[in-house]
Copies of this chain bind each other. A is one copy, B any other.
Amino acid sequence: MKNESITGRDVDFAQWYTDVCRKAELMDYGSVKGFIDYLPYGYALWEEIQNYLNTRFKGFGTQNVYLPTVIPMSLFNKEKEHVEGFAPETLVCTIGGGKELDEPLVVRPTSEVLFSDMYRRTLSSYRDLPKIYNQWCSVVRWEKTTRPFLRGAEFLWQEGHCLFETGEEAEKNALLVQEVYDELGKEILAIPFLKGRKTEHEKFAGAINTYTIEALMHDGKALQCGTSHYFGTGFSKTYGITYQGRENKLEYPYYSTWGVSTRLLGAMIMVHGDDNGLVLPPKVAPIQVVIVPIRQKEEGVLEAARKLKEELLNEHVRVLLDEDDSRTPGWKFSEYEMKGVPLRIEIGPRDLQKGECVLSLRVDGSKVTTSLSSLAAQIPTILEDIHNRMYAKAFSSLQERIHEARNIEEFKKALDQGGFVKMAFCGKEECELKIKELTNGGTARLIAKEEVKDGTLCPICGEKASLLCYFAKAY
């Protein structure tokens, strides 16, 4: 039953991942080293994410903007922590119109400095606040090792950069966006996230708080899927962003920022995929239903298939009828399984005589014979059910792989099984680093919401434990 053209997941997960990305035609290695082509089947997934998020973002007053693709070097160098984070990975332009530029231009690796400089120029009064701006764009990071969607020279993302009169509003905004990201997982990606705050060591440079959503991949490693940050007035002070406040004094606005990227495609692949290829959640699948006619030259088969296709289009289902008679049904089964199409409908002469067809669900390979009459109207519900099954499956898989540990020995054992390890520690950065070192890469993914039980001690320094964290190996 396994597709032979791709590596098995448990043979070599990294190779399986690359095989799926390419064979499902999500991407291709592009004309430029380290860069990828986002092909239609992959880009369409990103478009569905964009549609969902644009609607949600607009729901709390977000406005989209577009700022330049390059940043003058002097502006880029203004904020030290920021530079340290990004400078080693920048791509820099030095020639324009055939001449050397007066000042080099950095291709944006992120747009904090551009947003800050724009706000400095355009913000004037408390009346202008809040500013809830978001940008959809690509960013470039000169990475040495690259993996499609997970790490590469260029990826697509959205970056929200917002200003508020009070710190409370800014932090509330960061938390609200974390909630929206979490619901993106629940509602359309069928991915359950763990959500929480980052530790001091793991939070974004310059942020007061970083909030994260983390998912668990098939290989037991965690993937950070989206973050939102509360910054206080740090950026405002660095970039000189002020406004006339209500009391008629100059004030510094409070900052929040947030983003998700095409990394989410990687999450979908690695959470849901199996040895036959991609398994796509119906809400984002470019093809939700594929109709495969069997013995299509026999009387009535294509007619029935075409009729069903029309009915499904009327139900706003994204449907493909594959009529290509130079391919066998078996070839088509394997092809659309590779592409992760959630539901396949097989229509052949024998079933047709009884007014029936066969439904095959990608999520678990289950097949059921069903009546063709009024089938189309039921498909949206069946797709909803597939979504729920996929979420439930991913949810149990996550829950089963959350282990608890009280000391480093238990921690190591749990980490070897793959998944998250919940452990309390004192919260000090040095102990956090020590845990990572002692466990060969178990990093604090997020702080759990529950309180630490009384009397728990840090397994490293033996002092009172104050933070309960989820640790994991991570991408």
Contact = CB atoms under 8 A, between A and B. Distances in A.
Given A88-B98, A133-B40, A324-B127, A68 B154 contact: yes
A291 to B, nearest CB: 18
Given A63-B40, A94-B95, A95-B94, A72 B28 contact: no
Given A31-B118, A105-B32, A114-B31, A97 B90 contact: yes
Interface stretch (A136-144, A195-203, A373-381, A383-391): A136-144
Interface of A is mostly: mixed
A168 interface: no
A70 B43 contact: no
Nearest to A36: B68
A237 interface: no
Nearest to A94: B94
Interface string A115-148: 0011001100001000001000110101010000
A170 interface: no
A60 to B, nearest CB: 14
Contact of A107 (B35, B107, B121, B153): B107
A28 B107 CA distance: 20
Interface string A35-77: 1111110011011000000000000000111111111100100
- Most central of A43, A104, A324 by chain B CB within 10 Å: A43
A71 B107 CA distance: 14
A75 B32 CA distance: 10
Interface in A3-27: none
Given A97-B90, A122-B39, A30 B107 contact: no
Interface string A83-109: 000011111111111100000110100
A65 B38 CA distance: 6
A87 B121 CA distance: 33
A89 B97 contact: yes
Given A35-B68, A68-B31, A68-B32, A91 B93 contact: yes
6 contacts: A35-B70, A36-B68, A43-B63, A91-B93, A92-B95, A93-B107
Interface of A: 28, 30-32, 35-40, 43-44, 46-47, 63-72, 75, 87-98, 104-105, 107, 113-114, 117-118, 121-122, 127, 133, 137-138, 140, 142, 144, 153-154, 156, 324, 326
